[in-house]
A and B are shown apart, each in its own frame.
Chain A
Amino acid sequence: MISGILLFVLAAGFPYYIFLEKNKRIGSKTIFLVSGFLLLCAIVLSFFIANEHPTSLVVISFLSALYTIYKATKTTNFYKLGYYFIFINAPFFMLFEDKGAFYSLSLLVSLVGIYFIGRFYEKNYGSANYLAVRGVTLATPYLSIYITVYLLCIALYPPFPNSLFFLNYLFSSESFGLWSIVVITLFAGNFFLAMRVMEKSLFGKPNTHIHYVDLTFKEKLLHLSVVIVLLGLSIYGLKELLL
């Protein structure tokens, strides 16, 4: 029970809602980094302690995820979206039990990519907010490719690793009432939020008020390495799924 609570606290965004959100001096970038680190801790811990959660914790984290989905629809900042996605997916981490760690790991890798995208926006456009920087596909094609990959991962599109671990869990577990509600709701939540970001950032006519900048060689390499990790996880996920 204690280990369950510990993992729940680390993964489900409670530190954020209890402490970090209240503090105006802590920016969204910091929260993203802290939340990401806590999730990583949870993932690592879950390899050593039993990842079994009472239903009550799953329900609480699910309610917290629903609230986070609502909050995520009110922001257009990559950093905020990044940690919102962590909290939205927390019920999966608990519900999927031993398979939850790999699902969360691949989510975390996708979010690392989103973090680099946010940093890129911050450097070139003054903020990680993407609302004014629309039409990225036409203006900066390399950047758009990586945003697309990360968001497709989060939206649970096969054959990206998130979807493979997700499917693996679906095939290997038995459904029950709460299970169905959580899985369907959060699947839709991930999908629609990711699509919303794609629609607002990737598509449309580029904004003439903005001087668009594409990824530098170093940045391309950085993102390529994230994609390679995702690819590795995909191969592992596929193997798990097929075996």
Chain B
Amino acid sequence: MSTIMQKLDSVKGTVPHYWPIGAFIHHNPLKGFEHLHFKDGVDKAQSIFGGNVYMQPSYYLNLYKEGKINPDLLESNLRDILKSDGLEEHYDLAKKCLIEVNPKWNSLRSTADLNEHEIDEDLLSYLDEKFFYHNKEKWIEKLTKHMTLYEINDILFDRDDKEMIEKDIIEYITRFLDEEQTTITMPNRELGMFETFKLYENFDYAKNSETFVEEALQKLKVKNVEQYLLAHILKLHGWAGFIKYRSEDPDYFSQQEYPSSLMDYMAIRLYFELAYLQHRQINNFELLDTFMQKNSASVILKILQAKGDLPGKYIDAMQEHQNYEQILESYVQDELKLDAKQVHLSSAQLNNKEIALTELAKIMETLRSEEGYIWLKSLEDSYIHAFIDEMKLSEAPKEQRPLASAAFCLDVRSELMRRSLESRGNYVTYGAGGFLGFPIAFVEFDKAHEQFLCPAVVKPGNIIFELPKEAHEEYSSKKIMNKTTKKVLSDLKNNPYTPYIMVEAIGWIFGINLFGKTFSPRKTNRFLSGFKAQKPKTTYTLDKLSEQEIEMYVNKMHKYVIVEALKNSASQEYAAEEIQAIRDHLVFEKDLSLDIPRELLEKLRTKYKITRKDYEYQKNKLKMVGFTLEEKVEYLYSFLMMVGQVDNFAEFVILCGHQSISDNNPFESALDCGACGGSSSLPNNRALCMIANSKDVREAIAQKGIVIPDDVKFMPALHVTSTDEIKFYDTDILTSEELQKFKKVMADFEEASKIARQERITQLPYTNTQEDIMVKSMDWSEPRPEWGLAGNMGVFAGPRSSIKHMTFKNRLFMHSYDAKLDNENADILTKIFNGPLVVGEWINLEHYFSTVDNTVYGAGSKVYHNIVAKVGVFNGNYGDLKIGLPTQSVMLEGKAYHEPVRLLTYMEAPLEAVGKAVENSVAKEFILNEWIRPVIIDKKAKKVYSYESGDFKVIKEF
């Protein structure tokens, strides 16, 4: 028999991880269903979460009318489905149904003139048999499947416990999970989520959360434990996803400090459920079952009413206290009549005289369950065919030496920039995952924490510190000034009395910001930037530290912590030698001849963690700093091989990271680089440039077959996606002669930026000039500073020359790949699958589901968002953590801007190589289960394949 932990583990996969909003990670909200085929997965998810998993039929019908869906492909897909259901002979009728009747299906279900229609008796008895209206037990089971006991109680006895229970739960977990948003933090959080909860609720309970959950479930007399745990998880699945993420990421700082687990969360939920139900008439499932058996009609009616399924006529009858059995019977009869009426009206609309109504009902039923997939696949197929018809299927001739080459992130927003740059002259562009296959933990200048700049599925093995390479007094003084001002304002704001005086005395100062940002964002931004501390020129720690250096740094750090700790706690001052002796005593257990209180030593050990364990930890961390020569060469080699840039190097090889800039936007990091964990990808690009420019690396890489001429300079740059500006870094490494040439490159980039902005004016709403685009990035009232990744529909892995002539309007991820450079095991392609493709799939499906049902899978409107615990947003004062994207990111004026399709994954490679890469990749599951649409362009075999229904199908021969 499985334990509670195992039972919880078996259901927790239903909710996806939720990463904190500061480093927004796009993800597939249905990740837990990827072991199933896409179609089955979304159907199952729909039965659990509710909501839509496809767009409405009318949406697809509009695309069909606009010509975006190819009629031949729609016909082919419809025939396939009908064939599998043995209904192929009814193709014409089914097609008419799909196009003419189904989009209006709901409007045919009007109760208004129900009794005016004659209903076919055979049809009525067919529908009666098919549905389980008369099996009340089964009906109740279905209705209450994902409901908790308190929810059912609320419905049956007209209470409001749910509101109170969820409020209490949210209040506790938001305070526990807070990451420094509140001024007064919850004490004792280091004890863990459930232990702190016991103190919070003054709950005297000696055992752990797992035991509590087990006991609570027994008290509630739950029969199906897995299902009940899932029901609880689903109540606030955003919070559950975040707790799940934290508890499964050992590197998450807050989790290390304040441990939490999904089991703790379950215990808290069940604690409140028991507390609120203890005085209720029905407080366990046994009593509930007895009650429901006795009052099945009223139970069904009340649940139907609560779910919004019960028409007003029956609600009236219930409010008038009529007989429930009669009301239910009348409801059932009317529902059957309505079902039948829909078939009748459909038949009339189709002018159907050929087949019986029962037969038509069967066809329509099949179509309704399959239509979403038919339309979606037809739309995708239409794009796939248009793509392969337009792409160049012949080999491209060798190009002359370009003036500069530029590698951009494969992000869809690079497409326009690359196209614009290529139009400026002799430029070659490449695409790769923004982290360049070069995962790093990056500690920014003047910051204490590291950021993992790589896809969320990768853990970096090397740390880079950003250090100043020039004096930075001005930075320091401005920083201190800003910090002090902030502190004073914060103290004034949080004091119970001072806010009143503060508002009167200095409130007007905030008016400058308020009115300035509202009426003249650009000027205000320029004015305020004068007060901000400007980062000095920096460099990165790319070389490994020696053993002595590591020892020295750990020692220094420990001594610094001890000095700071003693400043606050000790009554006397200690000399440098004494500090060293204390440290050696704590870390190496050396004898200590000093007279120092034992409590102080204990405090240094426990609170400040000056221990042997910490010493080892810090040493291991510092060992990760920088790279060995072999690592540097390997990373550079892999990157160049991956994008196929192995010869004919331009004089300037630009590696361009990207980042978005916007104001008052909690979702800003969703617009940053997805392949860098929702952060700027500049550090990866800068570091790789530094590596590529070093002499010893060039010598070593030449031995591996890639000769980079001495006149080639790798230059880092940053593409600001909200404004399409390009900023260059480290230009001081260029000689004056090189700088002159590089100025021409910079000028061309500037022109390319203008071209890109001009094109984006047509895509962004309420934007008429380039200036409007610039203002959007600093306007605090702008909910849509850029379209970001909205519109993404596919990814291409192959040489740029194959699609250089095509325009994608920022809808295609583009990864450069030359299959000729790959080995027999297709290792390069496997790497692309393992990193960029995973990120691409997550981004694509995040957009897909946020569009098809923004309420269930998205974040709703930004207008109502409040930041909570600095980890996410919720609506109003309390609620579930909002997963997914806000409506403003995927919708425009109530209509879908993003066109939801699965990632159309075009790979220009031999079929065999793709097969091997799929087999070796972490993406195998979602590729084979068709959560993306793989298309293989095998130029050698002169065939194009599409992976469908478990097989590679030839869709074009050339």
A residues contacting B by CB (< 8 A) are 28, 74-77, 121, 123-134, 205, 207-211
The answer to whether A125 and B311 have CB atoms under 8 Å apart is: yes
Set A28, A123, A131: member contacting B305, Cβ < 8 A? A131
On whether A127 and B313 interact (CB within 8 A), knowing A134-B308, A211-B109, the answer reads yes
A133, chain B: closest CB distance, angstroms: 7
Q: Mark interface residues in B801-820 (1 if CB within 8 Å of A CB, else 0).
A: 00000000000000000000
Specify which of B110, B111, B308 lies most central, judged by the most chain A CB atoms within 10 Å of its CB.
B308
Task: Supply 17 further A-B pairs (C-beta < 8 A) apart from A74-B319, A129-B316.
Answer: A28-B316, A76-B312, A77-B319, A121-B312, A124-B110, A125-B112, A126-B114, A126-B311, A127-B311, A128-B312, A130-B312, A132-B308, A132-B315, A133-B312, A134-B308, A205-B855, A210-B308
Residues of B within 8 A of A125 (CB): 111-112, 311-312
User: Can you list 20 pairs linking A and B with CB atoms under 8 Å apart?
Assistant: A75-B319, A77-B312, A77-B319, A123-B112, A124-B110, A124-B112, A125-B112, A125-B311, A127-B312, A127-B313, A129-B311, A130-B312, A131-B305, A132-B308, A133-B312, A134-B308, A205-B855, A207-B308, A211-B106, A211-B110
Question: CA of A77 to CA of B312 in the docked complex: distance in angstroms?
Answer: 8
B112 contacts A126, C-beta separation under 8 Å: yes
Main SS class of interface, A: loop
Identify which of B107, B111, B305, B310 gathers the most chain A CB atoms within 10 Å of its CB: B111
Nearest B-chain residue to A210, judged by Cβ: B308
Which residues of B lie under 8 Å from residue A205 when comparing CB positions? 855
Q: How far is the CA of A128 from the CA of B308 in the complex (A)?
A: 15
For window 269-320 of B, CB contacts with A under 8 Å fall at 305, 308-313, 315-316, 319
List the B side residues contacting A28 at CB < 8 Å. Answer: 316
Measured in the bound complex, the distance between the Cα atoms of B635 and A142 in whole Å is 62
Q: Which residues of B contact A130 (CB under 8 A)?
A: 312
Q: Give bound CA distance, A124 to B311, whole Å.
A: 11
Q: 8 Å CB contacts to A: which residues of B615-659?
A: none
Q: Mark B98-118, 1 if CB is under 8 A from A, else 0.
A: 000000001101111010000
Smallest CB separation, A106 vs chain B (Å)? 28
Q: Give chain A residues whose Cβ lies under 8 Å from the Cβ of B312.
A: 76-77, 121, 125-133
**Which residues of chain B have C-beta atoms less than 8 A from A121's C-beta?**
312
Contacts of A123 in B (CB 8 A): 112
With the chains together, A28 CA to B315 CA distance in Å? 14
Which listed residue (B106, B311, B319, B855) contacts A132, Cβ 8 A? B311
Contact B315 A129 (CB under 8 A): yes
Q: Which chain A residues lie closer than 8 Å to B313 at the CB level?
A: 126-127, 129
On chain A, the residues within 8 Å of B315 by CB distance are 76-77, 127, 129, 131-132
- What chain A residues lie within 8 Å of B311 (beta carbons)? 125-127, 129, 132
Contact across chains for B310 and A126 when beta carbons are under 8 A apart: no
Residue among A28, A125, A132 with the most chain B CB within 10 A?
A132
Most buried by A among B111, B312, B319: B312
CA distance in complex: A211, B338 (Å): 13
Chain A neighbourhood of B107, CB < 8 A: 211
In the complex the two chains form, what is the Cα distance from A131 to B305 in whole Å? 8
Q: How far is the CB of A46 from chain B (nearest CB, A)?
A: 33
Task: State the CA gap A98–B547 with chains docked (Å).
Answer: 99
How far in angstroms is the closest Cβ of chain A from B305? 7
**Across the interface, which residues of B come within 8 angstroms of A208, CB to CB?**
308
Q: Give the distance to chain B from A190, nearest Cβ to Cβ, in Å.
A: 21
Query: In the complex, A126→B109 CA distance in Å?
Result: 11
Q: Which 3 A-B pairs have the closest CB atoms?
A: A129-B312, A127-B312, A126-B111
* Set of chain B residues within 8 Å of A74, measured between Cβ atoms: 319
B334: nearest chain-A partner, CB-CB: A126
What is the minimal beta-carbon distance from A26 to any residue of chain B, in angstroms?
A: 12
Q: How far is the CB of B332 from chain A (nearest CB, A)?
A: 15
The chain B residue sitting closest to A79, CB to CB, is: B316
Contact status B316-A77, CB under 8 Å: yes
Residues of B within 8 A of A126 (CB): 111-112, 114, 311-313
Q: Chain B: which residue is nearest A138 at the CB level? A: B894
In the complex, residue of chain B having the shortest beta-carbon distance to the beta carbon of A75: B319
Give residues of chain B (91-134) contacting chain A, Cβ–Cβ below 8 Å: 106-107, 109-112, 114
Separation in Å of the B863 CB from the closest CB of chain A?
13
What residues on A are CB-neighbors of B109 within 8 Å?
Answer: 211
- From B338, which residue of chain A is reached at the shortest CB distance? A126
**How many Å from the CB of B823 to the closest CB on chain A?**
52
CA distance in complex: A131, B315 (Å):
8
B316 contact set on A, CB distance < 8 A: 28, 77, 127-129
A132 cross-chain contacts in B, Cβ below 8 A = 305, 308-312, 315
Residues of chain B contacted by A129 (CB below 8 angstroms): 311-313, 315-316, 319
Q: Which of A76, A134, A207, A209 contacts B319 (CB 8 A)?
A: A76
Closest residue of chain B to A133 (Cβ to Cβ) is B312
- Select the residue from B109, B114, B319, B855 with max chain A CB neighbours within 10 A: B319
Min Cβ gap B634→A in Å is 53
**Chain A residues with CB under 8 A of B305:** 131-132
Which chain A residues lie closer than 8 Å to B112 at the CB level? 123-126
A147 and B773 CA atoms in complex are apart in Å by 40
Min Cβ gap B345→A in Å is 12
CA distance in complex: A109, B855 (Å): 38
User: What's the minimum C-beta distance from B754 to chain A, rounded to whole angstroms?
Assistant: 40
> What is the CA–CA distance of A12 and B634 in the complex, to the nearest angstrom?
90
For window 840-878 of chain B, which residues contact chain A by CB distance below 8 Å?
Answer: 855
Closest Cβ–Cβ distance, residue A201 to chain B (whole Å): 11
Which residues from chain A contact B106 at a C-beta distance below 8 Å? 211
Q: Which residues of A contact B308 (CB under 8 A)?
A: 132, 134, 207-210
> Bound state CA distance, A25 and B875, in angstroms?
47
Chain B min CB distance to A103 (Å): 29
B309-A209 in contact (CB<8A): yes
Taking the nearest CB of chain B, how far is it from the CB of A215, in angstroms?
Answer: 15
CA distance A59 to B319 in the complex (A): 29
Q: Which residue of A lies closest to B108 (CB)?
A: A211
How far is it, in angstroms, between the C-alpha of A14 and the C-alpha of B111 when the chains are bound?
34
Complex-state Cα separation, A138 to B235, whole angstroms: 25
Nearest residue (CB) in A for B855 is: A205
CA distance A207 to B855 in the complex (A): 13
**What residues of chain B lie closer than 8 Å to A77, measured between beta carbons?**
312, 315-316, 319
Collect the chain B residues with CB atoms within 8 Å of residue A76's CB: 312, 315, 319
Chain B residue at minimum C-beta to C-beta distance from A135: B308
Smallest Cβ distance from A127 to chain B, in angstroms? 3
Q: Which residue from chain A places its CB closest to the CB of B853 in the assembled complex?
A: A208
- Chain A residues in 8 Å Cβ range of B310: 132
Give A208 to B106 CA distance when docked, in angstroms.
Answer: 9
Give CA–CA (A207, B307) in the complex, Å.
9
- The CA of A74 and the CA of B318, in the complex, are separated in Å by 11
B300 to chain A, nearest CB (A): 15
For A128, the chain B residues whose CB sits under 8 A away are 312, 316
Please report the C-alpha to C-alpha distance between residue A121 and residue B109 in the assembled complex, in whole angstroms: 15
Question: Which residue of chain B is the closest to A134 with respect to CB atoms?
Answer: B308
Instruction: Report how far A75 CA is from B107 CA in the complex, Å.
Output: 27
C-alpha gap A125/B112 in the complex (Å): 6
Q: Give the CA-CA distance A128 to B313 in the complex, in Å.
A: 8
- Which residues of chain B in 308-355 are interfacial with respect to chain A, using CB atoms and an 8 Å cutoff? 308-313, 315-316, 319
Q: How far is the CA of A208 from the CA of B309 in the complex (A)?
A: 9
CB-CB under 8 A from A131, the residues of chain B are 305, 312, 315
Closest to A127 in B: B312
Closest to B313 in A: A127
A171, chain B: closest CB distance, angstroms: 35
Distance (Å) between the CB of B318 and the closest chain A CB?
A: 10
Q: Which residue of A lies closest to B106 (CB)?
A: A211
Q: Which residues of chain B from 478 to 507 have any CB-CB distance to chain A below 8 Å in the complex?
A: none
A212 CA / B573 CA spacing, docked (Å): 77
Least Cβ–Cβ distance between B719 and chain A, in angstroms:
38
- The CA-CA distance from A28 to B312 in the complex, in Å, is 14
Bound form: Cα–Cα A109–B19 in Å: 55
Give the chain B neighbours of A207 by CB distance below 8 A.
Answer: 308
Chain A residue nearest to B52 in the complex (CB): A208
Once bound together, how far apart are the Cα atoms of A56 and B510, in whole Å? 60
Give Cα A157–Cα B559 distance, bound, in whole angstroms. 69
